[in-house]
Amino acid sequence: MPQSHEAVFDPTLPSRMLADLESGSGALVLEEPGTPPSSHRFLRQRALSGTATMGVVLAVVATLAQVADWWLVLPVAAIGPMALQPWNAIDRRNSPTDWRVLRLAWGPLISWLAPLGTGGLGAWAACQIWPHYFFLLEATDVGVTHVMGRDRLVSLADLGDAERARLSRVRAVREQVEEAQRLLAPAFDGTLVLMTLREQEWMLATRMGEMAPLAAEVDHLDVAAATDRVRQAMRPQAEVVAAARRADEAVIERIEEYARPVERAILAHREWEQIQQLADNTDAYPGLLARAEAGGTADDLAGAPALDRDFGLEAARLAREDLTTQAVGANAWLLKALRGDQGR
């Protein structure tokens, strides 16, 4: 099941689904290409299924109790839920846990139902216990299963080491912009840049996925070629793969060039925060120094800078503002550069 660190997902997926997939939340089922994306929440599905199961079984049991001996009712109480649960149990959109629940349910069946015998009250109690037990098992799972076509993701396992490393560089920049968005807002708004970076990551991953079999063949033959004739024969193919990799590298280098002002702005913000913290806590140090001097342990501090000195807080604030402005300008530069490339 591809998770956030194992795949690149189509950025046009629904935003909530995309967030879940990138955080590794929920299960993922891959269908045929072109399958519309959808999400299924187990709690609502299972609660409905469990309630229907319980109601149907109890209705059948109550009917049989009027016309048959109680020993005939027990098998219905036991097998009834098993017959009705395939609504969820065999649905590929559910997790394998469903099958484990069905198997484990035979334990309570044997230990709870068998000792109750065939007495009227005991049999009725048995009929009540089983559906309620299964209902509780069903209703406590709150997981989500996401369904989509195989064409909506690129698994990193299908790519070579070099391609995975390149994509990780793009993702690192995206995470840096997300951090800048948190720290520098509202002056820094990276919404459009984040959308563009997702698109670029997806475009690169798609191209790399298409190239992966050819790149793997070239890389293998480059190491395992039996003779120089093989190396000579594969040279055109190797040059094509190398050219494709250079094109991808050029895009990634442009993205990393954009990230440098953003990184400097984040560093300036942290500097400002830390100097602000020092300035805020300055009033606590004179008392500590006085106690140290009274105890005769502050001799080494003679001639030390005064505790009320200027920490350069204003300079740090101005540097933060200036570098944040540069990062905002880098946003516009990146959008123009990448959109210009796409327009070619």
Maximum mean pLDDT: which of 21-25, 62-66, 126-130, 258-262: 258-262
For the stretch 27-74, pLDDT in tens is 888 899 999 998 876 655 555 555 666 666 667 666 766 666 655 655
Cα–Cα distance for residue pair 173/292, rounded to 1 Å? 48
Instruction: Considering only residues 145 and 50, tell me which one the structure prediction assigns the higher pLDDT.
Output: 145
Task: Answer yes or no: is pLDDT of 184 > 90.
Answer: yes
Q: CB–CB of 304/285 below 8 Å?
A: no
The mean pLDDT of 187-212, rounded to a whole number, is 94
Instruction: Considering only residues 254 and 104, tell me which one the structure prediction assigns the higher pLDDT.
Output: 254
The mean pLDDT of 272-299, rounded to a whole number, is 71
The mean pLDDT of 134-152, rounded to a whole number, is 71
pLDDT at residue number 88: 44
For the stretch 86-138, pLDDT in tens is 444 334 444 444 444 544 454 445 444 444 444 455 555 555 555 555 555 55
Q: What angle do CA 84, 100, 79 make, to 5 degrees?
A: 30
Task: Answer yes or no: is pLDDT of 194 > 60.
Answer: yes
The mean pLDDT of 166-183, rounded to a whole number, is 95
For the stretch 305-324, pLDDT in tens is 555 566 688 899 999 999 99
Q: Residue 38: which H helix or E strand, with range?
A: strand 38-41
Task: Answer yes or no: is pLDDT of 16 > 50.
Answer: yes
Structure tokens at 99: 């099958």
pLDDT at residue number 40: 77
For the stretch 217-245, pLDDT in tens is 999 998 888 999 999 999 999 999 999 99
Structure tokens at 84: 């009705």
How far out from the chain centre does Cα 16 lie? 11
Nearest in space to 333 (alpha carbons), one of 248, 254, 246 = 254
